[in-house]
Amino acid sequence: MRLKLSNLLKQGAPFRRWRTLYFSSRTVAPVLNALLVGLLVGCAAVLFEKLLKFTQQLFFVQLRPWLVGLGRWNVILLPIGGALICALVSRALLGDAKGHGVPEAMEAVALHNGRMATKPALVRGFLSAINIGSGGSAGPEGPIVQIGAALGSLYGQRLGLSSDQRRNLLACGAAAGIAVVFNAPVAGVFFALEAILMQLDSWAFAHIVLAAVAASVVGQIFLGQSPAFLVPTYELVSPVELLLYVVLGGLAALAGVALIRLLYWMEARFAALRAPWLIKPLLGALAVGLIGSVSPQVLGSGHEVIESILYLAVPWRMMVALVVLKILTTSLTLGSGSPGGVFAPALVIGAALGGSLGMLVHTLWPTVTATAPAYALVGMAALLAAAVRAPIAAILLVFELTRNYTIILPLMAATVMATVMASLLEPESIYTLALRQHGIDLRAGRDFNVMRTLLVREAMTPVDQLPVARADMPLYGVLRLLEDSHHHGLAVLGATDHLYGIITIADLERALAAGKGEATVGEICTRSVRVIFPDETLEDAMRHFAALDVGRLPVVSRDDPHCLVGMLRRNDIIRAYATTAFDVQARRQRLEVQQWEVATGAHLHRFSVTESAAVVGHALRDLALPGTALIVTVKRGEQTVIPRGDTVLLAGDELIVLANGTEVQHLAEQLQLQLQPQ
């Protein structure tokens, strides 16, 4: 019988008091939770590293001599064997579960309140050690992030913590994993903030730091205090070199985008391949093995290759080839479904790219340029930033590896250039593109983009609740109207009740100062007015406010741009944001509806069932609805009825129907329904 920690804290009078104090504390409990998660993930990361080294020893030291009779072709069988083991175990334990690890952690933070499935993360995470150890072209950092995030989420769920605390503990686990594998706790902290939480939160920052420190201590005890790579001394020879590092950043952006696109192109090709499930990872492993038989440097995570590049032990032509071949083999390994991460391959590609450029420019201009290893170090950070879109973490990672402040300027120049240029070429990172292909836009689900989910009609003041001025009204009349309504500006209507213009207190002051006290409103108001429509988002409205520097915008009907339907003020936007920010679930549902509408080309419409409607008393199955129209819900007073075939419609019901715009009027006429305004 398992005894959960949360149940233990609930049992007995002595525990009740401590449980109350513990869970109500905003300082002690979160700190202890972060430390415990860091220690737990630190132990898991050490276990992963031990398993990875054991697997490498098993395949390349103990098994490979048995295949020596095959010549250099013996290396082909090693990645195939690892892929076979991973595929069989994954299928037996997880079924069809797939994923790269980090995208799942990002989705758990953004959309699932910090809840992440533990079993798939742990199984595929540890299987990655077998895949990488047998020669699969992937990295261990992604799987360790996956394992750490899953353990942090599991800890939060077992204690019954709030959604915010679960998200933070998930990020703590991710940071702890990076801290151990690179012995770089600061980089781990900012990777969790940039790539997992995707925001800088001071409350979360302190706890993530504690988790990373705790994990680093565990890692140093069992794995040693040496950094992940032994790097040479670096120095900036000339300020002119900064231009060359900017060029390196541009090249890294191109290589990073190539990695992103080829990986997902390869994944799509394998998914479309009509072959048994076991054949796909074996085909990918076969292709990697064939390339590895010619260029063994592409096999595995590539940590040894990076150190060889940093100490000029790799020829120039091999470094150039390695950029292309590592992108290809990584795409084959991960695209065919084998587990692993993209972090280490990105570092290998960046090191090879920077090293080859450095060797070239040092040959051409030896007196004003550093040697190739300096460019290799900067290339690692630049390409990582281009692929992952975590520039601060990339800069700090290399800085922690070198512990040399003079590298900061080249790092910043190349990394920022790589990030900006890669973002222009490919808006999604190597992690977010996986989610975007499944219809998940993490940026739209964040608080800073809540304005995308709100429409102008939901925030505006309707025209029937709005004081308005008339074009023929004298100035003293509109002045009294402004004083009574406490508004700073009013819409002006003409003789036909169409929008005539806008009048503000500033307009009145200018008119009175110019001696135009006898003028009418129509003579002094602003005629050229920017208008917005009810179906625009508040994000669109905010851009209009910023561009025009005004305090209010008239809202007009899209069918008749002269028909005033309301007024949107800055206070309306603030009020709408404050209201919606508290309703996270409703906001996410709205995003799902928007994605649904985009995918189907249809929109939601509301119909009222009047007493004279032909559908009253009829079941839904009897209605002659077009095949492209769907009744989503039936609202009956305060009750929401889930529509079924035997649901009978009653007078007063409100139908929410998903339909194309061309069908809406036809439905209203055919079923004698009343279309409600949107």
Residue 208: its pLDDT value, please?
A: 93
Q: For residue 77, what pLDDT is reported?
A: 87
Q: How far apart, in whole angstroms, are the C-alpha atoms of residue 44 and residue 39?
A: 9
Is residue 400 scored above 60 in pLDDT?
Answer: yes
Query: What would the pLDDT profile of 251-265 be if each residue is shown by its tens digit?
Result: 999 999 999 999 999
Show the domains of the chain with their CATH numbers: 24-223 (1.10.3080.10), 243-276+303-436 (1.10.3080.10), 454-581 (3.10.580.10), 602-675 (3.30.70.1450)
Backbone angles phi, psi at 179, to 5 degrees: -60, -40
Cβ neighbours of residue 206 under 8 Å, at least 6 residues apart? 31
Average pLDDT taken over every residue of the chain: 83
pLDDT band at 13 (very low <50, low <70, confident <90, very high): very low
Which pLDDT score, from 0 to 100, does residue 608 have? Answer: 84
DSSP lists the bridge partners of residue 227 as none
Does position 437 have pLDDT exceeding 90, yes or no?
A: no
**What is the arithmetic mean of pLDDT over 74-79?**
85
What pLDDT shows up at residue 128?
92
Phi and psi angles of residue 657, each rounded to the nearest 5 degrees, phi first: -120, 135
Q: What is the 3-state secondary structure (H, E, C) of 96-138?
A: CCCCCCHHHHHHHHHHCCCCCCHHHHHHHHHHHHHHHHCCCCC
Contacts of 398 (CB under 8 A, 6+ apart): 377, 378, 380, 381, 407, 411
What pLDDT is recorded for position 385? 95
Q: Which residue has the higher pLDDT, 285 or 495?
A: 285
pLDDT in tens, 440-459: 666 554 444 556 667 888 88
- The percent of residues above 70 in pLDDT, for the chain, comes to 85
Task: Say how far residue 296 (Cα) sits from the centre of its chain.
Answer: 34
**Beta pairing partners, 552:** 569
pLDDT per position as a tens digit, 175-225? 999 999 888 899 999 999 888 887 776 678 889 999 999 999 999 999 888
Q: Residue 526 burial by CB count (10 A; 0-12/13-18/19+): exposed, middle or buried?
A: middle
Summarize pLDDT for 27-68 with one digit per residue, the tens. 778 889 999 999 999 999 999 999 999 999 999 888 888 877
